[in-house]
């Protein structure tokens, strides 16, 4: 599969960033408009898959030296940890908190612990999808 496809590779690089930032956007927008951790994670994964198709597994692995299995573990711990926070302030497991803040640049912004939980979901989804694709693709 050593086809030197310059146009595809160049386009893929640009499109990767577009898709990736779109993924970040729908991840953060998820609480108010369609989107969220699942979709965000899947879109991110598909962006990486696009790169893999344009280049090949090893190149992408060099570009993004991430161990996706660890990513899964970090995501799970983050999700579980967020859920457990409330236990330390004497609230039932999985109680979320949120409040509105005025941040410079952003204006009135709401911050949720639920977003942290969603970040855990996001990481797990990216991690699992990429683990699966990488291991299957690797196995020639």
Considering only residues 91 to 120 of the shown chain, the ones binding other proteins according to CB under 8 A are: 94, 96, 98, 110, 112, 114, 117-118, 120
Greatest CA separation found in the chain?
A: 60
Nearest to 51, CA basis, from 95, 81, 15 = 15
With DSSP H G I counted as helix, E B as strand and the rest as coil, what are the percentages for the chain, rounded to 5?
A: 70, 10, 25
Q: Quick check: 54 binds other proteins (CB under 8 A)?
A: no
Q: Quick check: 85 binds other proteins (CB under 8 A)?
A: no
In whole angstroms, give the CA distance from residue 81 to residue 73: 12
Site residue total, other proteins (CB under 8 A): 49
Place of tokens 């729908």: 26
What's the first-to-final CA gap in the chain, in angstroms?
A: 12
Among 12, 16, 36, 55, binds other proteins (CB under 8 A): 36
Q: Quick check: 51 binds other proteins (CB under 8 A)?
A: no
Segment contacting other proteins by CB under 8 A, of 8-16, 58-66, 69-77, 101-109: 69-77
H or E stretch covering 80? helix 68-88
Which residues sit at the interface with other proteins, rule CB under 8 A?
A: 26, 30-39, 42-43, 45-46, 49, 53, 69, 72-73, 75-76, 79-80, 83, 94, 96, 98, 110, 112, 114, 117-118, 120-121, 124-125, 127-129, 131-133, 135-140
């Amino acid at each position: 599969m050593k086809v030197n496809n310059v146009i595809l590779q160049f386009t893929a690089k640009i499109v990767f960033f577009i898709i990736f930032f779109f993924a970040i956007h729908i991840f953060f927008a998820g609480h108010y408009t369609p989107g969220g951790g699942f979709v965000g994670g899947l879109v991110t994964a598909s962006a990486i898959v696009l790169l893999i198709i344009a280049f090949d597994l090893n190149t992408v692995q060099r570009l993004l030296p991430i161990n996706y299995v660890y990513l899964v573990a970090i995501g799970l711990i983050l999700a579980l940890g967020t859920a457990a926070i409330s236990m330390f302030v004497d609230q039932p497991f999985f109680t979320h908190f949120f409040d509105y803040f005025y941040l410079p640049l952003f204006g009135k912004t709401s911050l949720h612990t639920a977003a942290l939980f969603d970040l855990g979901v996001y990481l797990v989804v990216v991690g699992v999808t990429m683990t699966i694709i990488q291991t299957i693709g690797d196995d020639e």
